[in-house]
Structure 1
Amino acid sequence: MSGRYDLGYKQLFAHPELVRELLTQFTPCTWLAALEVSAFERVNPSYVGEHKAERQDDLVWRVRCGADWVYIYILLEFQSNIDRWMALRMQVYVGLLYQDLVKRHELAPGHKLPAVLPLVFYNGATPWSAALELSQMIVPAPDGLHGLQAAQRYLLVDQQRLDPNALEAHGSLLALLFKLELSEATTVLPDVLASLSAWFADVAQEPLRRSVLLWLEDVVAREMPGVPVEQVILGHGGHMAARKYATWLDCWKDEGRQIGLELGKLEGMELGKAEGKELGKAEGKELGKAEGKAEGQRHALVKVIEARFGALPPATAQIVADIPNDDLERWIVKAASAPSLQALADGAAPSAHHAS
C-alpha cells in the first residue's frame, strides 16, 4: 500500500480492538480471543541499524499473557504489491526488534527474548506468491549445514482471497469493513452499509469512529469520486460475490449497458426485419441500441434508488420515467449520493419539466 490508503489501514490497526479482531478471526491465533483488549499495547516501531539508517515496521504491538507479563510482539506489514524478499525483510525486522530490546534493557536479568508473531497484511489484486519461509529462498545446504540456516516464517492475511463464508460468519467491525471493500455495489449497499450506519450510531469511542470514517472516506473516494462519505454511509439505512468492477458506479453503469445492449439487439432486429433492407437494419439496430441503452440506464437508476431507500413510491417512479435519456447517467451518480429520497425528488423539477 502507499499514500492515504496505507495510512487508512495504519489508522485502523492503531486500535487494539481491530488488531484483536484481525488476529483472532483471520489467523490461526484464536487463543488471543481469551485476552482482553486492555492486554494489547502499542510499541515504538522505529529501529536503527548499524549504519544509522532508520528501519520502520508498519505497526508493532505487544500482548500481555497472564500474570507473568510474557510479551508477544506482533509485527504488522502492510503490502499492496508482492515483495519476493518479504521473508528476508521479516528476518531483519525481528533481529532489529530484539537488538532494540537488548539495547534499551527491556529484558529482566536472565530472561529470554520474547516470542514474535510476524504478520503480512496483503490486499493486492494478484494472489500472494512470495515464499512464506526464508529457508525456501536458500539453496540446499551441504551436509551438516542444514540446521544452521535461517528459517524465519510469517503469517499472511491475503485480504482479496478471504473466504466469503468466513466474512459472513463474523459480525465484527473489521469483517464489515472487509466486506465493504470486497463486495460489488449491488450486494454491499443493502446490508453492509446499513450495518455500518448502525455501528456509527452505537459506538461511543470517538478515536475509533474517526479512524473508521477516514478509512471509509478513502474507499468511497475510489468507488464514488466526489460523493461525501457521510451521505453514503450515514444516510443509508448480502451475500459476498467475486469483485468484477473497479468501482461501484462502474457496476451500476455496466448493468445498464448490458440490459441496453440486449434490448437494443432485439429492437434493432425487429426494425431491420420490418424495413426489409440492409440500410434499414443498420439504422434500426442503432436506434434500438440507443433506446435500449437508455432503458438499461433507467433500470440501473431504479436499482440504485431501491438499494438505498427501498421501493419507489409512485411519484418517484414517474420522475424516473420522465428523465431525459441523455440525463440518466448523471441521475445514477446523483441517486448514489443523495442523503434522502426526498432530497433526490426535490431536485427533479428541472429535468421533469424538460421532459414535458
Structure 2
Amino acid sequence: MPGPHDLFVRYTFGQPERAAAELRAVLPPRVVSQVDWSTLQPESGSVVDPELRETESDLLFSARLRGGRPLLFYVLMEHQSSVDSWMALRMLRYVVRQLEHWRKANPESKKLPVVVPLVMYHGPDGTWTAPRRVEELFELPDEAEEKEVWRALVPRFEYLLDDLTAERAEALMARPGPPLARLAWLVLRYGRTEELANRLPTWTALFAQVRAAPDGTENLKVVIRYLLLVGDKTTRRTAGQVLHSVMDTQQAEELMRSWGEALMERGHRRGLRQGRAEGRAEGLLRILTARGLLVDEQARQRILTCRDVATLDKWLDRAVTATTLSEVWEDPAQ
C-alpha cells in the first residue's frame, strides 16, 4: 500500500510540467538548454524494490534532445529518516534495470540512451551525507598514486542530488515552475519539522496561486491531505486558517471535512506499519537464536521496541552472517 509521501510525490511530480521544473532546478544549465522539454512525458516501469516502497517512490520520464536523440530521466524520491550510505550502488542498479528494459523495447538500436539519475531527498534528520559516486564505495589502496590506478578499474557512476533539507525556504520559493511544484518543495522540505505550522501562513500567497490555477481545488485537497498525514494538531489548525483565507467558507469547510477520512487513513497505515515492524522484530530474534547468538534483555528490548521497518530490515540482513550482536547494529560501510 503506497504511503502518503509516495502518493503526494507521484501526484505532484508525475505531471510533465512540474517534473520539468524539478529537473531544471538540478540539471546543469547546458544540459537544460539541449533538452526539448516539450517532448517530456512520463513512462511506466518502476524499478524500486518492493521492500523499499515505504521509503522511496520513483518516476521515469522520457524526452528528446534537440538533435532528436532519446533521453531518460529516472527520479527517485527518498523519504526515509536516515541517509542510506549505499544509495550510489542502489541507483546504479536501478539505472541498469531501466537500460535493460529499454534494450528489450528497442532491440534494433545499437546505442543506449542517456539515463539521468536524480535523488530528491526530504528526510527530517539532517542533510544528505552519503557518497554520490559509486567508486567511493570501493576499498582502494591508501597510497595516492596506487589509488588512481585502482580507481580506473572500478565502475564510475554518479547521481544528481536535490537535497531539499539543505535549501532555504526563500530559495525554494524562487525556483521557476508551476505554483504547485513550489508549494510541494516547501511542504516536503518542512513537512516533518517543528517549523511547519509557523511557516504555513507565510505561504498563503502561494496557496492562493495554486487555488487559482486549473484544477486548483483538487490540487489544494491533495496538499491538505498530505499536511494532515505528516503534521500535528497545530498544523491542522493553521492549515485550516490558510484555507479560509484563499477560498470561500463553504469550499474550505468541504476540504476540512475530508480531514476526518484522512485521519482514519493515517491510523490504518500506522497500524499496518506497526504490524510489519513487529513481524520483522520477531523474525530477527528467531534468526539470532537459531545462529546461537546470545541476546540479552537490553538487546531484546532494542529489537522489540524498534518501529522503523527499514532499520529492522538492515538488522535482518546483517543477522544472516553476523558472528556478534555488534555486527548486527553496525553499518559495515561506516
TM-score class normalised by the smaller sequence: 0.5 to 0.7
Question: Is the 8 Å Cα contact of residues 45 and 57 (structure 1) preserved in structure 2?
Answer: no
Identity of aligned residues (%): 21
Alignment check: 8 A CA contact 1:20 1:32 kept: no
The letter for the 1-side match of 2:104 is K
- Correspondence 1:155 to 2:160: yes
2:33, 2:224 → 1: CA distance?
26
Match of residue 6 from structure 2: 6
Q: When the two structures are aligned, how many residues end up with a matched partner?
A: 231
SS at match of 2:63: strand
- When residues 91 and 71 of structure 1 are mapped into structure 2, their CA distance, relative to the original with a 3 A threshold, is same
Q: Of the candidates 151, 157, 166, which is equivalent to residue 146 of structure 1? A: 151
How big is the shift at 1:338?
A: 8.0
Change (3 A) 1:170 1:90: closer
Aligned residue for 2:73, secondary structure, equals strand
Whole-angstrom distance in 2 between the partners of 1:107 and 1:199? 43
Pick from 212, 235, 244 the counterpart of residue 235 of structure 1: 244
> CA RMSD for the aligned pairs?
3.8
Q: Which residue of 1 aligns with 2:186?
A: 179
SS at match of 2:116: strand
Alpha-carbon separation, structure 2, partners of 1:222 and 1:147: 45
1:39 is aligned with what amino acid? Answer: T
CA distance 1:146–1:222, shift in 2 (3 Å):
closer
CA shift digits 1:234-286 (9 cap, x unpaired): 4224xxxxxxxxxxxxxxxxxxxxxxxxxxxxxxxxxxxxxxxxxxxxxxxxx
In the alignment, is residue 63 of structure 1 matched against residue 49 of structure 2? no
SS at match of 2:99: helix
How far is 1:102 from its partner? 1.4
Please state whether the residue corresponding to 1:58 is helix, strand or coil.
strand
Deviating more after overlay: 175-184 vs 92-101: 175-184
Rounded to whole Å, the distance in 2 between the matches of 1:29 and 1:210 is: 33
Aligned counterpart, 1:290: none
TM-score normalised by length of structure 1: 0.55
Q: CA offset at residue 86 of structure 1?
A: 0.8
5+ residue gaps, structure 1: 238-307, 309-336, 340-356
Flag the 1:38–1:196 CA change in 2: closer, same or farther, 3 A: same
Shift of 1:188: 3.2
Structure 2 letter corresponding to 1:175: R
- Go from structure 1 to structure 2 and tell me whether the alpha carbon gap of 1:159 and 1:30 turns closer, same or farther (over 3 Å shift): farther
For residues 103 and 88 of structure 2, what CA distance do their matches in structure 1 show?
Answer: 23
Rg: which structure is higher?
1
Per-residue deviation, 1:83:
1.5
Q: How does 1:1-356 map to 2 (within 5 A)?
A: 3-29=3-29, 31-32=31-32, 37-46=37-46, 58-68=58-68, 70-81=69-80, 82-104=83-105, 106=106, 108-110=108-110, 112-125=111-124, 126-140=126-140, 145-170=150-175, 172=177, 173=179, 174-181=181-188, 182=190, 184-189=196-201, 191-201=202-212, 203-204=213-214, 206=215, 210=218, 213-225=221-233, 227=236, 231-237=240-246
Change (3 A) 1:5 1:48: closer
Shift of 1:77: 1.1
Structure 2 unpaired stretches of 5+: 255-334
Partner secondary structure for residue 119 of structure 2: strand
CA distance in structure 1 between the partners assigned to 2:232 and 2:243 by the alignment: 15
> 1:121–1:156: 8 Å Cα contact kept in structure 2?
yes
